[in-house]
Amino acid sequence: MMPTVIQIPSPVDPSAEGATPDRASEPAVSMAKAIQLRGFSAWYSAHQVLSAVDLDIAANRVCALIGPSGCGKSTLLRWMNRMNDTILGARASGSLHLHGLQVLSPDLDVVDLRRRVGMVFQKPNPFPKSIFDNVAFGPRLHRQYGRTDLEELVEQSLRSSALWTEVKDRLHRSALGLSGGQQQRLCIARAIAVDPEVLLMDEPCSALDPRSTASIEELIRELRETYTIVIVTHNMQQASRVSDTTAFFDEGRLIETGETDEVFTAPRERRTEDYVSGRFG
Amino acid sequence: MSAGRAIPIARRLRHDRMLLIACLSATTLAVAVLSALLISVFIQGLSSLDWHFLSSYASRKAANAGILAPLMGTLWVCAICGLIAVPLGVATALYLEEYAPRTRLRSLVQLNIANLSGVPSIVYGILGLAAFARCFGAISTDDPWTLGSPDSLFFLQLPFGRGVLAGGLTLALVVLPIMIIAAQEALRTVPKSLRHAALALGSTRWQVVWKVTLPAALPTMMTGAILSMSRAIGEAAPLLVIGGVLLLFSVPENLMSDFTVLPLQIYNWAGRPQDDFHKIAAGAIIVQLVLLLLFNSVALFIRHKLQRPLQ
Amino acid sequence: MTAIAARAAAELAQRGRVRGVAFRRFYERLLHFGLLGLTLLSVLTTVAIIVVLVKESGGFFFMEGSEVTFVSFFTGTVWSPLLGAKPQYGVLPLVGGTVLVTSIAGLFALPIGLLTAVFLSEYASPRTRMLLKAILEVLAGIPTVVYGFFALTFITPYLLQPLSDRFGTYNAMGAGIAVGIMILPIVCSLSEDALRGVPQSLRDGAYALGSTKFDVTARVVVPAGLSGIVAAFLLALTRAIGETMIVALAAGGLAQLTANPAEQVQTMTAYMVQIFLGDAPANGIEYRSSYAVAMTLFAITFVMTWTGALVLKRYREEYE
């Protein structure tokens, strides 16, 4: 599907940073559905947060981005659906392909990108609306539904985030009455409801208690069959539990990436070993 | 899962653009209104501004009229209002924020203050007339208790009658809720940790208030004081009830003197049909606005000075 | 080294004179009750307002020879206290005048104020925002009598009368627009507070689902801040109802029940001005009628501010 061409105010200056990739010189995207970064760098004003990252993320797998605070992993995540557009002075260069879209292109339809790339935030952020309206929010933006279709969609979304049985009797009560863990699963359901291809999760369990964390982790493992999932986490155990591949970042550089088992048990780099064994960070 | 008909992106972007245009036009209109107001006042009033205008009393002829009496009246009344309302407002705010237990009673008092800030100012005029000018009828106005001679600066009488003091006190009632709410907000900006630090050193509650909280909140409180005093300077309705619209040929000599204020003088002139009087009304408005601006900048300057040692 | 310093400090600390505990307790008590007393003044003010209004309007209703009853006062459609042999006191024309002027003010100020608030909180850069806020502060500081002058010398002759020659020198429209300009800064700054109080995380959540700015603003931010906005509207309308000088100057002096904005109307406040400036004898029924009008006005604004404060309180609880 080609994105509709629209003019958007983009923080990326193509002429200066060469962000508009010349298709011919770009390496072919190896898989039809995957995320591929080449020479990706990012700045907040003059401060460089990521430099020259090359990374491949396979489709329908869970990729964990780990590393100490300020290593740039959240920034990378926020570039994948261009959430950084809302931040003044944020810009990036290099190339970032996501399921066939050139994410950094100034001609990209950001609204469509974000429909295809769902995001779950650190702190659960349900809208102060009913549970039903929260899940229906995204679908209503993009399409006009008949009532039964919408009800079915909401139910399916809530089922896929394992929340349906808990909330089916109070769909029209405020979402703010849910517990933290339930709220976060609601946010996942909300993201699922727009039928995304990729799910980005920015430390989705950092504000939750251990039991809610366990249920979200279980959910992530089940969801990878349908979605490509990129998760930022501070919690090493979590990364090893939920992810298939892991990318370790430090000081704005990608230090090491590979199968999660390998990165945790037989890291190639000394810094990775120190970090995953808890010696720093 | 994609049942339903897709909403074309073009339509969504059109909504987006329409909102921006609507917001921009509304903002432009607000700015345009202010400009129109200032420009029309200045065009009408600039020609009547001169020393004679500032230093003369009222007159039946527009060309000879001046604003000395209302100008001095405004200064007297506002000084009294500030001297009463600011300390009283700060004291009330201190009690509510630092002392009062968080009970139902406190929230009731709080709600009462919010309500007072919504009472039309002319109603305060009625209260002031009954309470200050007439002492609720407890003492006859024809036979007041007096202290000192009527010519002296320190002349006092009970009831106060329709003088400067009654006017100033009434204005203080009008701005008191504004002052309280502003001072409370200022106190809330002081971090709890500062108070805890002082308490942990064994300070009494008052010592915490006097040496820590108040100095830290003072600059913000100044803003509140400016706000309430700007309101006081421009109030006309309650003073109209207290003093009526007078054409005075004297400036106030003591707290019991008759008075008029600039907004009332403006009202009087603006209400006449002749263009000449509209012109001097506009002149008085310019003086009023300059006074307001002067007052605001002095207060901002003081606030700036106070803020410096804390940074 | 540090141990020695600590011992020295302890010794030095002992040197000061001890303050009496009893005195300190007494002093604290005194201050506590002093402040409490000053706080209760605000309660006393409310009580005093109600007592004065009830007592004086009681004089109006139960005066000897007065034929006014509560029913005839609150349902009467003719207000002619100073005209004719048999004065009539039906408050509805005054209430109607107030409602007409307030409605015009609201129709002008609420949409414009809300849209400006949206612009300030969602679109404007920090610098533009600072500048516009300063302009709004200037507007908020202008004495209301100036708006009355503006209505009389600019809005009516240069904006309204060219549109239609049915607008007289005094009309509800000009006064209403001027009152609208007066409440614009209140609507705007309070609604902006409400919009900015909506957490950024909600905006992020909405954008991440593929919202346009319109979607974020109209479907998330404004609904989330709605109770704050409603409270802002209520407070602003209360100010409009109680506004005196603008209507006294520009709305006219004829109490009539009309919905025509080109006609002149008399509001409750304007009638009070007329009485307090006029030469009606202080014990006469005309004079006392102004207290009954004031009582009505006070009751209306009291209900509105009460509602506004409750809405605002609920709004604050939502986010705390």
- Specify the pLDDT at position B80: 95
Distance CA C18, CA C29 (A): 20
Task: Please name the residues in contact with C82: beta carbons below 8 A apart, sequence gap of 6 or more.
Answer: C278, C280, C286
- B132–chain C nearest CA distance, Å: 12
- A38–chain C nearest CA distance, Å: 24
DSSP states of B243-254: H-----SS---S
Q: Is the alpha carbon torsion for B171, B174, B175, B180 positive or negative?
A: positive
Judged by CB atoms closer than 8 Å, whether chains meet at C242 and B121 is answered as yes
Judged by CB atoms closer than 8 Å, whether chains meet at C208 and A176 is answered as no
Q: Which two tokens stand for residue C36?
A: 């409490």
- Specify the pLDDT at position C93: 93
What residues pair up with A36 in beta bridges, in sequence order? A56, A97
Length of chain C (residues): 320
H or E stretch covering A102? strand A101-102
Rg (CA), chain B: 25
Q: What is the CATH number of domain A59-82+109-276?
A: 3.40.50.300
Q: What is the CATH number of domain C79-319?
A: 1.10.3720.10
C45 vs B138: which has the higher pLDDT = C45
**Residue from C184, C194, C178 nearest C121 by CA:** C194
Of C208, C212, C215, the CB nearest to A81: C208
Of A112, A127, A141, the CB nearest to C205: A127
**Interface size between B and C, measured as CB pairs under 8 A:** 244
Nearest CA in chain C to A129: C224
Judged by CB atoms closer than 8 Å, whether chains meet at C208 and A119 is answered as yes
Which residue in this structure is represented by tokens 């979605």?
A: A227
DSSP states of B207-241: HHIIIIIHHHHHHHHHHHHHHHHHHHHH--HHHHH
Which amino acid is present at A233? T
Judged by CB atoms closer than 8 Å, whether chains meet at B245 and C277 is answered as yes
- Specify the pLDDT at position C12: 81
**Interface size between A and B, measured as CB pairs under 8 A:** 37
- A49–chain B nearest CA distance, Å: 31
Q: Would you call C212 an interface residue with chain A, using a CB distance cutoff of 8 Å?
A: yes
- A143–chain B nearest CA distance, Å: 4
Of A112, A128, A187, the CB nearest to C210: A112
A144 contacts in B (CB within 8 Å)? 4-7
The DSSP bridge pattern shows strands B145-147 and B5-6 to be unpaired
A187 vs C78: which has the higher pLDDT = A187
Q: Would you call B128 an interface residue with chain C, using a CB distance cutoff of 8 Å?
A: no
Cβ atoms A29, A36 nearer than 8 A: yes
Of A144, A146, A193, the CB nearest to B7: A144
- C137–chain B nearest CA distance, Å: 10
- Specify the pLDDT at position C26: 86
Of A86, A127, A142, the CB nearest to C224: A127
Subunit partners of chain B (3 or more CB pairs within 8 A)? A, C
- A142–chain B nearest CA distance, Å: 5
Subunit partners of chain C (3 or more CB pairs within 8 A)? A, B
Judged by CB atoms closer than 8 Å, whether chains meet at A125 and C219 is answered as no
Distance CA B179, CA B186 (A): 10
A81 contacts in C (CB within 8 Å)? 208
- Specify the pLDDT at position A26: 42
**Residue from C107, C109, C75, C108 nearest C257 by CA:** C75
C264 contacts in B (CB within 8 Å)? none
C155-172 confidence digits (pLDDT tens): 999 999 999 888 989 999
- Specify the pLDDT at position A5: 37
- B11–chain A nearest CA distance, Å: 11
Judged by CB atoms closer than 8 Å, whether chains meet at B23 and C135 is answered as no
Q: Would you call B263 an interface residue with chain C, using a CB distance cutoff of 8 Å?
A: yes
Cβ atoms C169, C269 nearer than 8 A: no
C208 contacts in A (CB within 8 Å)? 81, 83, 114, 118-119, 121, 191
Tally Cβ neighbours within 10 Å of residue B40: 17
How far is CA C34 from each of CA A265, B92, C14, C31, rounded to the nearest angstrom? 71, 10, 33, 5
Of B1, B5, B9, the CB nearest to A4: B9
Average pLDDT of the residues of chain A: 85
Which amino acid is present at A44? Y
Judged by CB atoms closer than 8 Å, whether chains meet at B115 and C291 is answered as no
Of A125, A129, A141, the CB nearest to C201: A125
- The SS3 call for residue A187 is helix
Cβ atoms B31, B222 nearer than 8 A: no
Judged by CB atoms closer than 8 Å, whether chains meet at C42 and B180 is answered as yes
H or E stretch covering A269? none
Of A144, A150, A193, the CB nearest to B5: A144
- What does the pLDDT average to over B267-280? 91
A67-104 confidence digits (pLDDT tens): 998 888 999 999 999 998 888 889 999 999 998 889 99
**Residue from A67, A17, A59, A61 nearest A42 by CA:** A17
Banded model confidence at residue A281, pLDDT cuts 50, 70, 90: low
Distance CA C247, CA C179 (A): 8
Q: Would you call B16 an interface residue with chain C, using a CB distance cutoff of 8 Å?
A: yes
Q: Would you call A7 an interface residue with chain B, using a CB distance cutoff of 8 Å?
A: no
> What phi, psi does B145 have (nearest 5°)?
-80, 130
Judged by CB atoms closer than 8 Å, whether chains meet at C207 and A128 is answered as no
How far is CA B289 from each of CA B45, B76, C152, rounded to the nearest angstrom? 12, 17, 19
What residues pair up with A48 in beta bridges, in sequence order? A43
B234 contacts in C (CB within 8 Å)? 141-146
Tally Cβ neighbours within 10 Å of residue C150: 29
Of B26, B270, B278, the CB nearest to C116: B26
Structural domain spans, chain A: 59-82+109-276
Which residue in this structure is represented by tokens 């550089």?
A: A253
Q: Homologous superfamily of B49-310 in CATH?
A: MetI-like (1.10.3720.10)
- Specify the pLDDT at position B246: 75
- Specify the pLDDT at position B155: 77
**Residue from A234, A89, B30, A174 nearest C183 by CA:** B30
Judged by CB atoms closer than 8 Å, whether chains meet at A128 and C210 is answered as no
- The SS3 call for residue B76 is helix
Judged by CB atoms closer than 8 Å, whether chains meet at A150 and B7 is answered as no
How far is CA C156 from each of CA A169, B38, C100, C262, rounded to the nearest angstrom? 59, 16, 17, 10
B33 vs B62: which has the higher pLDDT = B33
Nearest CA in chain B to A155: B1
- Specify the pLDDT at position A1: 38
- What does the pLDDT average to over B213-226? 86
A153 contacts in B (CB within 8 Å)? 1, 3
Judged by CB atoms closer than 8 Å, whether chains meet at B130 and C52 is answered as yes
Q: How many CA atoms lie within 13 A of C290 on its CB side?
A: 24
Of A111, A145, A152, the CB nearest to B9: A111
Backbone φ/ψ region at B155: left (φ over 0), alpha (ψ -120 to 50), beta = beta
Distance CA A191, CA A200 (A): 10
What percent of chain A is predicted at pLDDT more than 90?
Answer: 63
**Residue from B250, B230, B231, B239 nearest B132 by CA:** B239
- What does the pLDDT average to over A158-183? 92
Tally Cβ neighbours within 10 Å of residue B105: 11
Q: Is B184 a residue whose pLDDT tops 90?
A: yes
Distance CA B83, CA B91 (A): 13
Cα angle C139, B23, C179 (rounded to 5 degrees) comes to 35
Q: What is the pLDDT along chain C (320 residues), one digit of tens a residue?
A: 678 888 888 888 877 777 777 887 888 888 889 999 999 999 999 999 999 999 988 888 887 767 788 888 888 888 888 666 678 888 999 999 999 999 999 999 999 999 999 999 999 998 999 999 888 888 888 999 999 999 999 999 999 999 988 898 999 999 999 999 999 999 999 999 999 999 999 999 999 999 999 999 999 999 999 989 999 999 999 999 999 999 999 998 888 888 899 899 999 999 999 998 887 777 788 888 899 999 999 999 999 998 888 888 777 666 54
Distance CA C30, CA C24 (A): 10
A126-136 confidence digits (pLDDT tens): 999 999 999 99
Distance CA A110, CA C208 (A): 10
Distance CA A139, CA A142 (A): 5
Assign 3-class secondary structure to chain C.
CHHHHHHHHHHHHCCCCCCCHHHHHHHHHHHHHHHHHHHHHHHHHHHHHHHHHHHHHHHHHCCCCCCCCHHHHHHCCCEECCCCCCCEECCHHHHHHHHHHHHHHHHHHHHHHHHHHHHHHHHCCHHHHHHHHHHHHHHHHCCHHHHHHHHHHHHHHHHHCCCCCCCCCCCHHHHHHHHHHHHHHHHHHHHHHHHHCCCHHHHHHHHHCCCCHHHHHHHHHHHHCHHHHHHHHHHHHHHHHHCCHHHHHHCCCCCCCCCCCCCCCCCHHHHHHHHHHCCCCCCCHHHHHHHHHHHHHHHHHHHHHHHHHHHHHHHHHHHC
DSSP state at residue B145: E
**Residue from B224, B226, B219 nearest B182 by CA:** B224
- A161–chain C nearest CA distance, Å: 16
Of C202, C207, C220, the CB nearest to A83: C207
- A21–chain C nearest CA distance, Å: 24
Distance CA A129, CA A126 (A): 8
